[in-house]
Amino acid sequence: MGKILEIKNLTKEFKEFTAVKDVSFFVEEGGFFSILGPSGCGKTTLLRMISGFIKESSGEILIKGESMSGIPPEKRPVNIVFQSLALFPMMNVRENVAFGLKRQKLSKQEVDERVKDMLGRVSLHGFEKKKVTELSGGQRQRVAIARSLVMKPSILLLDEPLGALDRKLREHMKIELKLLQKEIGTTFIYITHDQSEALVMSDKVAVMNKGRFEQIDTPRNLYKNPKTAFVAGFVGESNRFELTDYSDHKLTTENGWKVEKPNLDFTPKVLYIRPEALIIEPTDDIADLFKFEVVIKTILFDGSNTKVSAIVTSSKDELLISLPQNAKFEDLKEGDKVQVGVNYNDLKCYKE
């Protein structure tokens, strides 16, 4: 599998404002690559440059090794699915999906075959004659994807395509989309501000902040080893502490909590600890553990995602701790004093 897309030092300036700053990355053929970042960080601008709707200020876009410089959008082997979907409301499902093919002046037979095949793949067989206005949100979503995929693009670009759906349907669609991508094998580049969408679906994720890529990694690595404070804070849940000192292998939080962290070769400004990295009542056989005492403040019951809010006895710092749903902790209640441990490796420290 080679690189289907390669981006080199891509920058986009709007007057004085730089929306995309010196972004470089590549995407493997058949991959599911996500670009994850908060609203306004430059995701759509980046996608528009890849599709050719706007011109880069500098840098290079290669698709299958070929420079896209000067190639208009309709000549690029890419297709976009927009958040708004942009379906034709007056047309039925079949006509929506056939639209692009008809413009290519293909034979009626070929159009019919390709539309039928694609509707089958997105589980919309039998919906040909329905108006798109008669469909559910999830079905409309699939029509939009079918309409793009039927054109057989080398790369499908998806700009927050699940943004308009309600939570439940979004959960369902992200699993469907991943399965669909696997089955069809088209390279997907998916942009979203929703970290869960990016983590669940992608082979690789780029985390974008203020026009720059902060880290490109597998979902697991992003979560396990965030390279910057921004990534640590944006991907997954974390307890965050501002630091005032690092000496004698101890970090000091603003409230004066001394957190043991051996062998750092720099002085960090901020500490992140994931709720599930905190172990309640750790057994003595676990190595490399920093242990401390907390008082339970509240139990935030949420099924398998239940957490407790706890106060560090020595400093009054507050933190969230994941609570495994097993009998051992069933009697835990407000006001209880408990020992908590965290592995040194799970104390994530950053310069800023």
Ligand X SMILES: Nc1ncnc2c1ncn2[C@@H]1O[C@H](COP(=O)(O)OP(=O)(O)O)[C@@H](O)[C@H]1O
Q: How far is the CB of 266 from Mg ion (least distance, A)?
A: 35
Which residue among 40, 65, 126, 262 contacts ligand X (CB under 6 A)? Answer: 40
Q: Is 266 in the site for ligand X (CB under 6 A)?
A: no
**Spatial contact of 275 and 322, defined as CB atoms under 8 Å apart:** yes
**Spatial contact of 80 and 47, defined as CB atoms under 8 Å apart:** yes
Q: Tell me whether residue 42 or residue 236 sits nearer to ligand X (CB atom).
A: 42
* Nearest alpha carbon to residue 340 among 267, 301, 283: 283
Cα dihedral sign, 84-85-88-93? negative
Stretch that binds ligand X, among 35-43, 56-64, 277-285, 330-338 (CB under 6 A): 35-43
Q: Is 39 in the site for ligand X (CB under 6 A)?
A: yes
The terminus-to-terminus CA distance of the chain in angstroms comes to: 38
Q: Is 14 in the site for ligand X (CB under 6 A)?
A: yes
Q: How far is the CB of 83 from ligand X (least distance, A)?
A: 10
Which residue among 44, 92, 141, 181 contacts Mg ion (CB under 5 A)? Answer: 44
Backbone phi, psi, residue 4, to 5° = -90, -30
Q: Tell me whether residue 44 or residue 322 sits nearer to ligand X (CB atom).
A: 44
Q: How far is the CB of 40 from ligand X (least distance, A)?
A: 4
**Of Mg ion, ligand X, none, which one sits near residue 14, judging by CB under 5 to 8 A according to partner kind?**
ligand X
Q: Tell me whether residue 34 or residue 44 sits nearer to Mg ion (CB atom).
A: 44
At 235 the three-state DSSP class reads coil
* Nearest alpha carbon to residue 340 among 282, 258, 255, 275: 282
Q: Is 43 in the site for ligand X (CB under 6 A)?
A: yes
At 95 the three-state DSSP class reads helix
Q: Tell me whether residue 46 or residue 278 sits nearer to ligand X (CB atom).
A: 46
H/E segment holding residue 173: helix 167-184
Q: Tell me whether residue 159 or residue 317 sits nearer to ligand X (CB atom).
A: 159
- The b-or-e profile of 177-211 (16+ CB within 10 A means b, else e) is bbebbeebebbbbbbbbebebbbebbebbbbbbeb
Which residues within the stretch 225-264 sit at the binding site for ligand X (CB under 6 A)?
none
Stretch that binds ligand X, among 12-20, 95-103, 106-114, 234-242 (CB under 6 A): 12-20
Stretch that binds ligand X, among 43-51, 72-80, 85-93, 230-238 (CB under 6 A): 43-51
Q: Is 195 in the site for ligand X (CB under 6 A)?
A: no
Q: Is 45 in the site for ligand X (CB under 6 A)?
A: yes
Tally the C-alpha atoms within 13 A of residue 347's C-alpha that lie toward its C-beta: 26
Q: Is 16 in the site for ligand X (CB under 6 A)?
A: no
**Of ligand X, Mg ion, none, which one sits near residue 41, judging by CB under 5 to 8 A according to partner kind?**
ligand X
Q: Tell me whether residue 43 or residue 261 sits nearer to ligand X (CB atom).
A: 43
Task: Kindly report each contact of residues 239-245 with a partner whose C-beta sits within 8 Å and lies 24 or more positions away, as own/partner.
Answer: 239/272, 239/273, 239/274, 239/275, 239/319, 239/320, 240/270, 240/271, 240/272, 241/270, 241/271, 241/272, 241/273, 241/317, 242/269, 242/270, 243/268, 243/269, 243/270, 243/271, 243/349
**Spatial contact of 2 and 194, defined as CB atoms under 8 Å apart:** no
**Of ligand X, Mg ion, none, which one sits near residue 150, judging by CB under 5 to 8 A according to partner kind?**
none
For ligand X, the binding residues (CB under 6 A) are 14, 17, 19, 37, 39-45
For Mg ion, the binding residues (CB under 5 A) are 44
